[in-house]
Amino acid sequence: MAWTEDRVETLKKLWSDGLSASQIAKQLGGVTRNAVIGKVHRLGLSGRAAPSRPARRPAPRPAPRPAAKPVAAKASPQAAPAKAKPVVAEAKPAALVAPQDAARLPNGEYATVLTLREGMCKWPIGDPTDTEFRFCGRHSGVGNAYCEAHAQLAYQPQAKRKRKPGDDAKAVLDSLQSARRVNL
């Protein structure tokens, strides 16, 4: 899986939101947490709010590393779960999960990873590990990752983005200019 513009933007967003690398990897799909961490470092946005201890690293340089391991054949046990989650269920997702916004789809549901499609705002809302996790889902326009309102947030820090010919960034910037202020 390649690091497309959308995936990088999502990565930046989720990372700055404080989600762990494994959580981000799980949501993006097709990548491991190592890939996420590696990408984060290459993007130069390693530092953020510290969920875990800083943990210094003097780099002791131990023994050399053999190329690859022969991958031990290991059938997945898939043991019986039998772990009924008490879970508070969906009592009141509104107050807990999304004080922000999430557009209702025509069928009354929210946009999830399964229902999110082209032309829908991909702005993530809530905890990706939570069942209540959803996307904004508003109309984003063809070729745009976010709706006008979230495009402002997504592209705000980097107001000056390179605008290559044919790049959809132009459409986003046009949206920014016409959007002005939108209630979030």
Residues that bind DNA (CB under 7 A): 1-3, 20-23, 31-35, 37-42, 46-47, 51-53, 55-57, 59-63, 65-69
The candidate with the shortest Cα–Cα distance to 100, out of 138, 67, 57, 136, is 136
CA dihedral 5→8→13→18, nearest 10 degrees, is 170
Length of the chain: 184
- Name the phi and psi angles at 150, rounded to 5: -75, -25
Of residues 23 and 152, the one with the C-beta less far from DNA = 23
- Residue 127 beta carbon to DNA: minimum distance, rounded to whole angstroms: 12
Q: Indicate the residue among 32 and 100 with the shorter CB distance to DNA.
A: 32
We find the least distance from the C-beta atom of residue 126 to DNA, in angstroms, to be 17
CB of 1 to DNA, least distance (A): 6
Which is nearer to DNA, 130 or 174 (by Cβ)?
130
Q: Which is nearer to DNA, 1 or 91 (CB)?
A: 1
Query: From the CB of 183, what's the least distance to DNA, in Å?
Result: 32
- The amino acid present at 144, given as its one-letter code, is N
Question: 154-179 burial string, b = 16+ CB within 10 Å, else e?
Answer: bbeeeeeeeeeeeebbeebbebeeee
